[in-house]
Chains A and B, each alone.
Chain A
């Protein structure tokens, strides 16, 4: 007997066992025991009387075992049988085989171990019934299919809701009645509040309202929503726009929610204020990072370009963090910027390094403006990738995003050696072309400039098909 790979039971410990008792033992220790010939023919079958498997295995006798297996298990069995027979010393791993369904029994899996019995190459296969595990697997698969169906249904409802919200002429804002935080909103609401969608989601309504109004907006809205009559409430945003809000209260999966229909109180379209739209467009789509921070440096909002510069995926993870976390000299940078901007209203240019989420540093130039937003002071920082700006200033050909994307896509499709070889060729050709151009096709001069012998230059000119130009010399 093997105990953790060690033999501790020698043959002398037990007396010889009578053949009929051996049969009894085998039938009890395995759910299904097969004596199989070297050719894979079933010579005998023993099934455990306690097993819940239906009987009828006796008809397997004289048949190839492969005939009783599912299509995924035939090759597996034959391969493992051959390995077992070909090498006396090999320890063949137990093999899981799927038996195919018959008229009176569904397909079922068995884990077999292989044992030599010393007669005519025949072997004993002791099988463990894996149907209980298979039944659990069936339940898992059924649950998974149910989940997939739910997911598809949810997707359908989600799409309908989003289409409804996207095509609505009114702003729609969903808020949690318990926390007052905005859960979802449509594009019109985004425009009316003059914020980005990311800024609105997760924030409270009062964060976007002018000071001096109703201090407990949420309670007021909830009270109005709970009253029998339909009532509107007018709120003023920080940018001074008056909005008419009509709240409706409802419950969603137990949580009380408010749906606020929002319209412009002046009756004009939210789109009418072109400057707001333009500024919002600049914030959302501009190439430079734009960050609004409070006096302490806490980020109030940041645009997509800033996310790109800092390699942050989700704007929610930026909001609430201190801008000093992203600046090369941390709070020192922040203090210099905020003090200068406070003193003069704006700081035109400040050079430092921006540290991304993954630790990558890039040089940046920051222009900062102090804004008076109601009672509080807010700084706007516009951050520009200085290395890119530097390249433009030097009037050098710029590496475009498309170029860089090509380079990134290249990595992994070619070996380094291959890339270097190809790159070397291109560099050689570029340099030779440039040299030939610079020397007005004077090949002696070109060779000299390139540090090549004339012969080598001719070889390379031929290699790169540049010989067609007539030499100036």
Chain B
């Protein structure tokens, strides 16, 4: 923001510029609603994609540095750029322009980038006096795709939600977690239908422990299974973090983020 402010200030004597700036500031809010959502810029996407495939972190750091100068913040990178990059890596494997070893390594680097950019790490001061229930994000045992759930956790934390992130979740560990504390929601990230049976068991287990805690299911499985709620018994299935938070009664002041940790489509029981 400072940069544009300064561009305006250098022309402080230019009344037309002042009028234009005022007009822009007047118009801007009206054009930032609904379908007018800032899309990832192709130039940065392609630079990031190339940097992910190169050894070393210098290239990636340079691109991130450039994006910061362009006022593209960490949250936007995590919310908008990382999911697109993950999709592109998947597409590259499907088209055999990248082998799966390269895709695996690039995905791991992408996941590390999400961790690095996670804003909520410095949030603990806010934890004092906060008695709101946390949200459990679980990845069922055997599910190896954890990038989506990592992004989801990062997004929730950026929105001020306390998250218990449980990898390799099984019924026993879920039961243990739910007896230890109450959750506003249990969110299960499932990447493929190979893990649907365990997901169904986890939903049943969660409901047995607390029927009032909604179980929300998401992940790549939503693209493959149409009757996901019937099959798993989950209360809600969604691609949208905002939708999930609303369903779970967790207020958010930020705009909903398009499908990241959860795959596309919203299914309500």
Contacts and interface: CB of A to CB of B under 8 A. Distances in A.
Interface in A134-150: 134, 136-138, 140-141, 144-145, 148-149
Contacts of B146: 141, 144-145, 148
B4 A408 contact: yes
Contact of A358 (B3, B26, B124): B3
A174 B28 CA distance: 47
Nearest to B41: A412
Interface stretch (B7-15, B208-216, B227-235): B7-15
Interface stretch (A221-229, A319-327, A396-404, A464-472): A396-404
A71 B125 contact: no
B38 A96 contact: no
Given A387-B12, A396-B18, A423-B24, A404 B192 contact: no
Give the size category of A's interface with B.
35 or more
A109 B101 CA distance: 11
B32 A163 contact: no
Interface in A274-313: 308-309, 311, 313
Nearest to B101: A133
A362 B22 contact: no
Interface in B166-215: 167-168, 192-194
A358 B24 CA distance: 25
A158 B121 CA distance: 9
Pick from B4, B37, B124 the residue with the most CB of A within 10 Å.
B124
Contacts of B19: 427, 430-431
A405 B1 contact: yes
A138 B193 CA distance: 19
A422 interface: yes
A463 B254 CA distance: 35
A138 B99 CA distance: 15
Interface in A164-185: 166-167
A17 interface: no
A159 B127 contact: yes
A82 interface: no
A426 B31 CA distance: 13
B20 interface: yes
A423 B38 CA distance: 18
B21 A399 contact: yes
Nearest to A101: B194
Contact of B20 (A76, A138, A148, A423): A423
B25 A404 contact: yes
Give the size category of B's interface with A.
35 or more
A407 B25 contact: yes
Interface in A422-466: 422-423, 426-427, 430-431
A407 B4 contact: yes
Contacts of A350: none
Given A167-B128, A399-B8, A145 B167 contact: yes
Contacts of A155: 121
A397 B22 contact: yes
B127 A145 contact: no
Contacts of A137: 100-101, 104
A138 B111 CA distance: 16
A351 interface: no
A403 B18 CA distance: 12
B27 interface: yes
A95 interface: yes
A208 B99 CA distance: 57
B9 A71 contact: no
A403 B6 contact: no
A413 B31 contact: yes
A413 B38 contact: yes
Nearest to A136: B101
B111 A410 contact: no
B188 to A, nearest CB: 16
B150 interface: yes
A388 interface: yes
B69 A358 contact: yes
9 contacts: A141-B104, A144-B146, A308-B2, A363-B9, A408-B4, A412-B38, A414-B31, A419-B27, A426-B26
Interface of B: 1-6, 8-10, 12, 18-32, 36-39, 41, 68-69, 71, 93-94, 96-97, 99-101, 104-105, 108, 111, 115, 121, 124-125, 127-128, 144, 146, 150, 165, 167-168, 192-194, 224
